[in-house]
Amino acid sequence: MRIDRYELYDVIASGGMATVHLGRLVGPVGFERTVAIKRLHPHLAKEPEFVTMLTDEARVAGRIGHPNIVPTLDVVASRGELFLVMEYVPGLTLAALMKNAAALGERVPMKIACAIMAGVLRGLDAAHEARDENSRPLEVVHRDVSPQNILVGADGVARLLDFGIAKAAGRLHTTRDGQLKGKLGYMAPEQLGARTVDRRTDIYAAAVVLWESLTGERLFDGDDAATIFGNVMQKKVPAPSTKVTEVPAAIDTVVLSGLEREPSRRFARARDMAAAIEDGAPLARVSDIAEWVAQMGEAELAARATMMAGIGRSGPAASVRAPANDSSTGILTAVKEPLAPPRSRRRALWIVAAAVVAIGVTGIVVLPRGGAKPADVAIPPTHAPTPVTVGTAAPAAALPTADPAAATERPSEPPDPLPAASSVTAKAPAAARTGPPTRAPGSKSRAGKALACDPPFTIDEQGHKHYKVDCL
């Protein structure tokens, strides 16, 4: 499927608001870039207020540049749908990694959990401090810090996803119950109470994620939204070390400070919480995190690599037309078609064809501008000049000729791509390499020296011209 400058490939993730596809930016002069394209569910694109809010927020988020943030590169509205184009980062979400670890009876190692959240908090601080071109604060608040929106790359770097989407989603008049239930456990009390949110709201959510990644449990859980809401507002939060004894007391303090229900009692800035984590526990190295991601996400990363290789084989000379849509899985199967040869290649073919015609038919030919051009040229597998037969209605004598000095002339610009109006077939009999050219019907042979000097030169197998001494 082609949307604007992008080709859409298979689904790599899905959620309550969107599916995420592998994609490719196809730019001019053969430039390509692999991207991740978030395809929002069609009903969201029908909400004008949502679309306006989302595009505004995406433009703001595009100004945030930080290693711990996946940037939004573009927003595309096409065919009644909305697409967010993001940088593609090989890796898995923290939610997927925690799920895979739990399936093996494991938790996220304490050093890795702390390193991941320290990086996420550094990215959050960069977003909170972002300013416009006039140095005015943009006052960015993520509003949806959760394990599903933290991508841990195969390079060992944690990155935060989806700036702007949560704020736009808050304007929707309808929200899916399942989606709301999944997000409630990460919302700060002021967010649930419809009070003013600021950067400390994101700090609270980050503290929830850190508690869960350390313990391997949900902090605020329940069978329904009302139960979760009550737990967020009233439940006494236990220190992580009561669940996992290896957690240092300093990290307990960091987590509980971030989870204060009163915003003024939390960390003032995300970087302050990151620094407290870094001081409170030894952190895993980036290479250690990368190795852990490779272990926990081995199957998913292998499948993704295979998918990427399939896209790579299509190369720049392939396009994707309307895909076959398997509604049961949501997977798009791309149908690839070769594109026409590049313009530069067609021009090169025309120049070679012109040279073959010029040398083979008359020895020396200056091609006229704007005249009929051959459309389909078969070049013989030899470097020697060869006679050429042009159609059946244009005898060789009809082609314009010039004196030997004109042999070095070339058109100043290559002609346009070949039209499909005529056909040129090149033939290469060995006996014709240095012999006299084919003469038009009715022409008379010359005798003696005149015949020997027609033409007054020979051409060797490398295509070099040698004038006969007797004809000078």
Active centre residues (catalytic): 144
- Whole-angstrom CA distances from 181 to 222, 447, 457 are 9, 102, 89
Task: Count the alpha carbons within 13 Å of 234 in the hemisphere toward its beta carbon.
Answer: 6
User: For residue 196, how many other CB atoms are within 10 A of its CB?
Assistant: 10
Q: Report strand pairing: 336-338 vs 318-320.
A: antiparallel
Biggest CA pair distance of the chain: 116
- Residue 234 phi/psi, 5-degree rounding, is -135, -20
Q: Residue 47 carries which side chain, given as an amino acid letter?
A: E
CA distance 231 to 200: 19
Helix pair 110-128, 286-296: axis angle to 10 deg: 110
